[in-house]
Amino acid sequence: MTALGLRVAVPRWRVDRAGAPLVLGLVVLAGAAVFGGSFAGGRNLGNIALDSSYLLLIATGMTFVILSGGIDLSVGSLLALSGVLTAYGARWGTLSAVALPLAVCAAFGVVNGLLIGRARIAPFIVTLATLLFARGLAFAVADEGNRVYIIPAGLTLTRLGQARWLGLGAPVWLALAVFAGGLVLLNLTRFGQATFAVGDNQEAAELMGLPVARVRVLVYVLSAVLTGVAGVLVAAQTQSGLPTIGEGRELEAIAAVVIGGTLLSGGAGSLSGTLAGVLLLKVIQNLINQVGTLTAYYQQVVSGTFLVVVVLVQLRLSARSARRRRS
């Protein structure tokens, strides 16, 4: 349904966004056929799920940002800052180890949202600035990388981050719970509809009386907080906080969202597609590790190739769907 050019209905799953799940299924089948149990075994699949959980948390927030017509380049640096602050705050217990990084990340999200939503500064410029600021702050807290804060093994946070429930790491279940909450928030609430509307046509959204600036602030706070959660879990898993982690993670999150069918221009996409995009990237990385003779640089080459392949598949499905509608 449209009004003044504004789409306010909740978008349904469309065949032209099924490229990522289709390619993911083919890659998994190929990996199982070539590598057998070393790829399709429970332990390896559990490792893929654990590795995917951190990216899924970041990509979930990134999906909301991109759907609203924005971009967030600061998530990689916020991941590092969150990890360092988690380890720094662990000296006072689990509560401070969790509250400190999440509060700081939320503050970064508010700043991003206000500068973009209220001051109307380009998202690329704002989040590039916070990328640099957050990374510098992480190094400052860690004494320019010369000091590594260690999280005590007996801390509740450490036990949670390293726990396994039903054969999967606790971060996997937490990421799935956040993902499920994101599905509800995006598809069944007025905030979700407003996010689609702002990304589809900001001027029309303003004419409809939607709180555009508030939506912008909230999506950037959501992205920053979920990145903070990922940083807390990474620190709990490794029992330390390093200011060097997360480099390039913003590009990986954006790639997962785009592979999942969300338009970079905003207004169209889905969280289920983002989940498929995250899994596809991590499965590809795992398959490259299975080969054993390829370096990390080849992972980037192959990931970039698959990004192009998935986009081409989605374009092909979109064209086929359009022809069917015309006929």
pLDDT digits (tens, 9 = 90+) for 219-233: 999 999 999 999 999
Give me the half-sphere count of Cα atoms (radius 13 Å) on the Cβ side of residue 281: 28
CB 86 within 8 A of CB 101: yes
Both tokens assigned to 236: 């709990």
Q: How many residues does the chain have?
A: 327
CB 300 within 8 A of CB 53: no
Instruction: Give the position of tokens 């969790």.
Output: 98
| Residue 143: predicted pLDDT | 86
Quote the CA–CA distance of 123 and 140 in Å, as a whole number: 25
Scanning 42-150, the segments in alpha helix (DSSP H) are 42-67, 75-89, 94-117, 123-141
Both tokens assigned to 37: 């149990």
| Residue 40: predicted pLDDT | 82
CB 89 within 8 A of CB 96: yes
Low-confidence ranges of the chain (pLDDT < 50): 1-16
Contacts 24+ apart (CB under 8 A), 115-124: 116/70, 116/216, 116/220, 117/212, 117/213, 117/214, 117/215, 117/216, 117/217, 118/213, 118/217, 123/65, 123/70, 123/71, 123/72, 124/71, 124/73
| Residue 1: predicted pLDDT | 38
Quote the CA–CA distance of 112 and 106 in Å, as a whole number: 10
Quote the CA–CA distance of 35 and 30 in Å, as a whole number: 8
Closest CA to 174 of 189, 163, 185, 158: 163
Quote the CA–CA distance of 94 and 100 in Å, as a whole number: 10
Put simply, whether the predicted model's pTM sits higher than 0.85 gets the answer: yes
| Residue 196: predicted pLDDT | 92
| Residue 6: predicted pLDDT | 41
Rg over alpha carbons for the chain, rounded to the nearest Å, is 20
